[in-house]
Amino acid sequence: MIKKVIIAISLALLFLAGCGQPAPDLGDNGLGGPGSSVDDNSTVEPVDIGEDNPNGAGGTIVNGGAGGDGTDTITPEDITETTFTGNNSSADNFRSIYFDFDRYNIASSMESNMNHNGKVANSVSSSLKIEGNCDEFGTDEYNYALGLKRAKTVKDRLSSQGVDSRRMVMVSFGESNPVCRETTDSCYDRNRRVDIRLAR
């Protein structure tokens, strides 16, 4: 028990320490400038769930809070009315949300995906797992914190679309769950994402 408390406190301290760390200089790749950093005043508390973690190694789970009424006003026809093309590592008809380098705000190019995800989330009653991911740049602690911020941004947006936040669980995999391992900008783009799936 003491070990779990120490781990939880350590993760919280690493999260707070990682927020002020400058980002690595990747040069002019159009995805954020050199020395840019994540800046957020909000905090979330990681929960140590030990060996019962359904997400495998490296997952940090954060409990959803109260809020939203989960009203289902969307029909299945609304969900499938548009065709989606592009990379997607989400499941259960959700679409992945991609982020610029060292950023956790939802870009305007991702608004369509977020609107789609809100419709899907409101059409089901199951709990949702929101998974934050990062590219390989930065320390492990920094990337776990950034992944968590990305997941929280998506969770907050879904809450504003009427999804009950008590149905959502956030997970940060940091850089430990890449979908692409090539050393190219397009590959790094695919790893800076939030995936959404039904919690099982």
What is the pLDDT, as a whole number, of residue 4? 56
Does 117 have pLDDT greater than 60? yes
pLDDT digit string, tens, across residues 75-115: 434 434 333 445 788 999 999 999 999 999 999 999 999 99
Does 199 have pLDDT greater than 80? yes
Beta-strand ranges (E) seen in 44-149 are 60-62, 97-98, 128-133
Q: What percent of the chain has pLDDT over 90?
A: 54
Contact 171, 59 (CB under 8 A): yes
CATH number for region 2-198? 3.30.1330.60
CA 161 to chain centre: 17
Question: Which one has a higher pLDDT value, 71 or 182?
Answer: 182
Contact 197, 55 (CB under 8 A): no
pLDDT digit string, tens, across residues 170-181: 999 999 999 999
* pTM beyond cutoff 0.75: no
Q: Where are the domains of the chain?
A: 2-198
pLDDT digit string, tens, across residues 11-42: 555 444 444 444 433 333 333 332 333 333 33
Assign 51 a pLDDT band (cuts: 50, 70, 90).
very low
